[in-house]
C-alpha cells in the first residue's frame, strides 16, 4: 500500500467556510477518479485509488501513470517527499447558516452538500488544506474588487448566534500562548490552531500505530521463546512441567540469552548451581573451564 493523501477535512479554510465531510458526493468521482496536474483540464497524470471517508476526512492513494512528463516528475517528487500537497475541486450544492455548524472565525455559510469534481497534485496550495470551490457554476477567488465570484457572507441578525470577537489584548494573549508574535492576525491564530489540531490527530495515529507494532513485536518474541522451550522439551533437556518457568525466564533475559540457560540443564549436572544462579540474575551463562 502506497502513501495516502488527504483529499478533504473539516477545518476552516481560506474562503471563510468549511466543507462537511459526510455531505460530499463522491459517486461521480469514484467512477472516474482522475488525478490532474495543477487543476489543468486535459493534463491527466494518473488517478486516485482506494478513496476512503473516515474520521471526518476523505483520503486516497495517488497513482501516477508515467505517460506524461508531468506525471513522471510528480511521481518522483511524491516518492522523495518534495511534492506533498493535493487540491480537491468541489462544486457547492448547498450552504447553511445554522449556528450549530459555525466555527470560530467563520465568515461564510457552511458547505453542507458538495460534489467532488476533480483532484489535482499542486506545488503550493492556496491555504493549509488547499481546496478549490465552485459556487453557482463559477470558481471562487480569494481576491476582492476585481469582479471575481465569492461566497455570500453570513447574515447577522438578532436571532442568530454569532461567535464573540476577541479584543486586541485578548488576541495578543492568545497569539503569544500559541508561540506567535503579538502582531499576529486572527487568520494567523486560526492557522496555528488548525495546525496544532492536526498535530494532535497525527500524534494519536502514530501512538496507536506504535502500540500496534509493540504488540506485534511482543507476539513475535513470545513465539520465538516458546519455540525454543518446546524444542528443549522435545529433546529431553527440560521437563514439560517447567515450560512456564522457562518461558517466563525467556521474557526476562530475551530469546538470545535463553539457550544458554537450557542445555545441559539436568539434575546432577556439575554446572547446575552456577546455571541456576545465572538464571535468577538474568545473566548470560558461560561454561567454566575444566581443570
Q: What is the pLDDT of residues 116-172, one digit of tens each?
A: 999 999 887 655 555 555 556 665 544 343 444 456 777 654 344 445 556 778 888
- Hey, which of 40-49, 162-171, 233-242 has the most confident mean pLDDT? 40-49
Give the span between the Cα atoms of 181 and 156, in whole angstroms.
Answer: 31
The CA distance from 208 to 214, in Å, is: 10
User: What span, in angstroms and rounded, lies between the C-alpha atoms of 14 and 73?
Assistant: 28
Quickly state the pLDDT bin for 76 (edges 50, 70, 90): very high
- What integer pLDDT is reported at residue 162 of this predicted model? 47
Query: Which has the closest alpha carbon to 48: 38, 58, 263?
Result: 58
pLDDT at 271 over 50: no
User: Left (φ > 0), alpha (ψ -120 to 50) or beta: where does 32 sit?
Assistant: beta
Q: How far apart are CA 241 and CA 245, in angstroms?
A: 8
Give the model confidence (pLDDT) of 149-163 as tens digits: 456 777 654 344 445
pLDDT of residue 249: 85
Give the residue from 134, 126, 128 showing the smallest Cα distance to 151: 134
Looking at residue 190, its pLDDT comes to: 81
CB 285 within 8 Å of CB 261: yes
Question: Comparing 1-10, 18-27, 196-205, 258-267, which segment has the lowest mean pLDDT?
Answer: 258-267
- How does residue 46 score in pLDDT terms, banded at 50, 70 and 90? very high
Amino acid at each position: 500500500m502506497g502513501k495516502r493523501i488527504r483529499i478533504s477535512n473539516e477545518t476552516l479554510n481560506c474562503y471563510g467556510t468549511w466543507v462537511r465531510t459526510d455531505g460530499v458526493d463522491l459517486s461521480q468521482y469514484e467512477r472516474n477518479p482522475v488525478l490532474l496536474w495543477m487543476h489543468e483540464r486535459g493534463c491527466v497524470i494518473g488517478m486516485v485509488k482506494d478513496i476512503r471517508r473516515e474520521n471526518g476526512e476523505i483520503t486516497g492513494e495517488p497513482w501516477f501513470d508515467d505517460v506524461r512528463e508531468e506525471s513522471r516528475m510528480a511521481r518522483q517528487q511524491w516518492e522523495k517527499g518534495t511534492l506533498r500537497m493535493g487540491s480537491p475541486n468541489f462544486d457547492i450544492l448547498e450552504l447553511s447558516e445554522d449556528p450549530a455548524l459555525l466555527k470560530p472565525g467563520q465568515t461564510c455559510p457552511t458547505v453542507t452538500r458538495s460534489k467532488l469534481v476533480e483532484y489535482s497534485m499542486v506545488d503550493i496550495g492556496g491555504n493549509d488544506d488547499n481546496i478549490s470551490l465552485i459556487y453557482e457554476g463559477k470558481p471562487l477567488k480569494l481576491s476582492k474588487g476585481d469582479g471575481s465570484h465569492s461566497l455570500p457572507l453570513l447574515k447577522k441578525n438578532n436571532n442568530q448566534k454569532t461567535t464573540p470577537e476577541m479584543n486586541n489584548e485578548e488576541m495578543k494573549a492568545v497569539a503569544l500562548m500559541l508561540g506567535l508574535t503579538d502582531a499576529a492576525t486572527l487568520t494567523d491564530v486560526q492557522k496555528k490552531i488548525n495546525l496544532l489540531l492536526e498535530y494532535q490527530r497525527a500524534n494519536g495515529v502514530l501512538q496507536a500505530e506504535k502500540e500496534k507494532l509493540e504488540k506485534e513485536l511482543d507476539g513475535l518474541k513470545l513465539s520465538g521463546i516458546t519455540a525454543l522451550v518446546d524444542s528443549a522439551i522435545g529433546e529431553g533437556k527440560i521437563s514439560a512441567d517447567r515450560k512456564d518457568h522457562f518461558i517466563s525466564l525467556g521474557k526476562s533475559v530475551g530469546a538470545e540469552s535463553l539457550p544458554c540457560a537450557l542445555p545441559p540443564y539436568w539434575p546432577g549436572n556439575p554446572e547446575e548451581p552456577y546455571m541456576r544462579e545465572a538464571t535468577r540474575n538474568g545473566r548470560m551463562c558461560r561454561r567454566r573451564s575444566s581443570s
